[in-house]
């Protein structure tokens, strides 16, 4: 019978263990708070009494923890010999450098890490459109492809263990920034008597940035920051209007003020007549 161990039973770990159960796997689970495994055990999962028992139960081990400090704390509970021969699919969020160091540490103990970054929320696990960034030894990923694809599709980025965390953190940078913008806009809307339900279709329209991404990406790649379509000076004026509207509504203006500061830095650096894309150089300290 196909087997897998899942360590870490937050919402994502719960969804992953559930997907494996639904796919007919023998699933062993462990979580620091043991009660989080109750529903999974009721569905047929095996609750490991210890981290050592969890690791010993399967060659393939999925880690879904808060950060690599938590991973270190979990792995510190077992004799290092238990790690030998294991493939640890580390879907824990942290920095690229931490992923590289973790892979080296595991390799010294006879284990292999596959670093990953899941691109969907827990309800998306097991759905056709779901995908996860993976990096690490390609032959190991191919060996376990069918098990990985129980969770999501695979976007393989290369052997460098830091690549999946890097792409993941870049995406999360964009995700939190965009959602913070939505929440700020909704705060201004509510201050003016506009409900979230009423604003929803307008918010969806405003946040559909595909046109802009597809327009800007080839120009950025070509180093073309010509202000033939947009200019930073226009952006300064626009964000100033946003900030005034925010303040007039009695809403905290910290977020648009921070954006305005970046635009003004671009203008001060001589890019006022250049495209918004020239802010990349400003953000990189050039």
Task: List the alpha helices (DSSP H) in 110-249.
Answer: 138-143, 145-151, 163-191, 196-206, 210-221, 232-248
Say if CB 265 and CB 281 are below 8 A apart.
no
The residue from 109, 131, 160 where one domain ends is 160
Assign residue 196 the CATH number of its domain. 1.10.1040.10
For residues 64 and 117, state if they share a domain. yes
Give the pLDDT score at 151.
Answer: 98
Which residues in the chain land under pLDDT 70?
Answer: none
Angle, to 10 degrees, between the axis of helix 232-248 and the axis of helix 163-191?
50
Q: What is the CATH number of the domain that holds 66?
A: 3.40.50.720
**Domain identity same for 146 and 196:** no
> In whole angstroms, what is the distance from residue 210 CA to residue 264 CA?
25
Per the structure, the complete domain to which residue 214 belongs is given by 167-283
Please state the separation of Cα 258 from the chain's center in Å. Answer: 23
Q: How far apart are CA 167 and CA 113, in angstroms?
A: 17
Do 132 and 202 lie in a common domain? Answer: no
Distance CA 128, CA 144 (A): 18
Please give the pLDDT value at position 226: 96
Residues 142 and 182 in one domain: no
Say whether both 145 and 181 belong to one domain. no
Distance CA(128)–CA(219), nearest Å, equals: 32
Question: How is residue 226 written in tokens?
Answer: 């010509």
The predicted-structure confidence for 55-95, as pLDDT tens digits, reads as follows: 999 999 999 999 999 999 999 999 999 999 999 999 999 99
Do residue 171 and residue 133 come from a single domain?
no
Instruction: Tell me how many domains the chain contains.
Output: 2
In a shared domain, residues 155 and 183: no
Alpha-carbon gap, residue 212 to 220, rounded angstroms? 12
Is the model's pTM score more than 0.85?
yes
272 CB contacts (<8 Å, ≥6 apart)?
Answer: 231, 232, 233, 236, 266
Q: Domain end: 100, 129, 160, which one?
A: 160
pLDDT for 20: 98
Identify the pLDDT of residue 254: 98
Neighbours of 124 (CB within 10 A): 17
Which 8-state DSSP code applies to residue 45? P
């Amino acid at each position: 019978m196909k087997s897998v161990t899942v360590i870490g039973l937050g919402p994502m770990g719960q969804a992953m263990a559930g997907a494996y159960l639904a796919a007919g796997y023998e699933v062993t689970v462990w979580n620091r708070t043991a009660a989080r495994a109750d529903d999974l055990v009721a569905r047929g999962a095996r609750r490991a009494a210890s981290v050592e028992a969890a690791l010993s139960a399967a060659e393939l081990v999925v880690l879904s923890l808060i950060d690599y400090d938590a991973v270190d704390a979990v792995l510190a509970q077992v004799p290092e010999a238990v790690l030998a021969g294991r493939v640890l699919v580390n879907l824990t969020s942290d920095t690229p450098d931490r992923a590289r160091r973790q892979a080296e540490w595991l390799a010294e103990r006879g284990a292999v890490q596959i670093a990953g970054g899941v691109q969907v929320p827990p309800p998306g696990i097991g759905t056709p459109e779901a995908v996860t960034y993976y990096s690490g030894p390609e032959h190991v990923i191919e060996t376990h492809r069918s098990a990985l694809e129980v969770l999501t599709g695979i976007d393989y980025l290369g052997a460098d263990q830091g690549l999946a965390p890097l792409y993941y953190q870049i995406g999360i940078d964009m995700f939190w920034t965009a959602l913070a913008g939505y929440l700020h806009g909704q705060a201004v809307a509510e201050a003016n008597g506009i409900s979230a339900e009423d604003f929803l279709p307008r918010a969806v329209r405003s946040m559909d940035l595909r046109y802009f991404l597809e327009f800007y990406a080839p120009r950025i790649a070509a180093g073309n920051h010509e202000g033939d379509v947009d200019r930073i000076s226009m952006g300064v004026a626009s964000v100033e209007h946003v900030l005034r509207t925010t303040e007039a509504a009695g809403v905290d203006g910290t977020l648009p003020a921070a954006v305005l500061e970046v635009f003004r830095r671009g203008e001060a650096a001589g890019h006022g007549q250049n495209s918004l894309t020239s802010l990349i150089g400003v953000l990189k300290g050039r």
